[in-house]
Amino acid sequence: MDALASTEDPEWIISEGRIPYQAALAAMEAHVGAIRAGTGRERVWLVEHDPTYTAGTSARPEDLHDARFPVFNAGRGGQWTYHGPGQRTGYVMLDLQQRHGSVPARDVRAYVHGLEEWLIRALDRFNIRAERRAGRVGLWVPNRSGGEDKIAAIGVRVTRWVTWHGVALNVEPELSHFGGIVPCGVAEHGVTSIAAQGVVATMAEADAALRGAWGEVFGGG
């Protein structure tokens, strides 16, 4: 029998100001526990952090070149990531035992693909064409040198089929801050942002694009 589809749109929370990274981890862990216990709703939580470097489970010590900002072990998949002002981090907490729109139940690969599609559709609202690349998680746009730059990163963790962590969309961060790490372990490509693509967008406009694109992939309103 097919898994039941999620019948309720996740609650959306947009935090004002900057959330300390360790506080975000603790809040996510607590809410994931509540979802597993059936006492909490699925949630999409949009935040900004102070400048921070986070290490995923595959992070290599040599890829941290300059620890100019606080460094944390994130516990998610992936390698090194920067978080900071002007970047919208989206923490997605879903119960993957249910189907969500085009994402089937209990399929982590399809879930990651769904996160990518969500970001692609959100960026399309700014006339930015972001693309997947085989072997490189995240979203990429071509640059003027003939190469590619990452505009959004993805790193997830799944605990007893409940997801946490999520995505990081570069709206208008200070791109030089990425220079202390090898972002996601990919040294041969750079990073970019909505602003660096010549598009003027506020964080509220980025949030609206993310909210609008959600239902096209994961179902709901």
Nearest-angstrom CA–CA distance, 170 and 13 = 19
Q: Which of 186, 163, 41, 40 is nearest to 112 (CA)?
A: 163
Residue 75 structure tokens: 């516990």
Residue with tokens 């980025």, as numbered in its chain:
206
Nearest-angstrom CA–CA distance, 68 and 181 = 10
Q: Which of 88, 93, 60, 90 is nearest to 181 (CA)?
A: 60
State whether residue 95 is helix, strand or coil: strand
Residue 68 structure tokens: 């100019």
Fill in the DSSP letter of residue 204: H
Is 174 annotated as catalytic? no
Q: Which of 48, 97, 60, 86 is nearest to 184 (CA)?
A: 60
Choosing from 46, 153, 156, 184, the catalytic residue is 184
Q: Which residues are catalytic?
A: 184
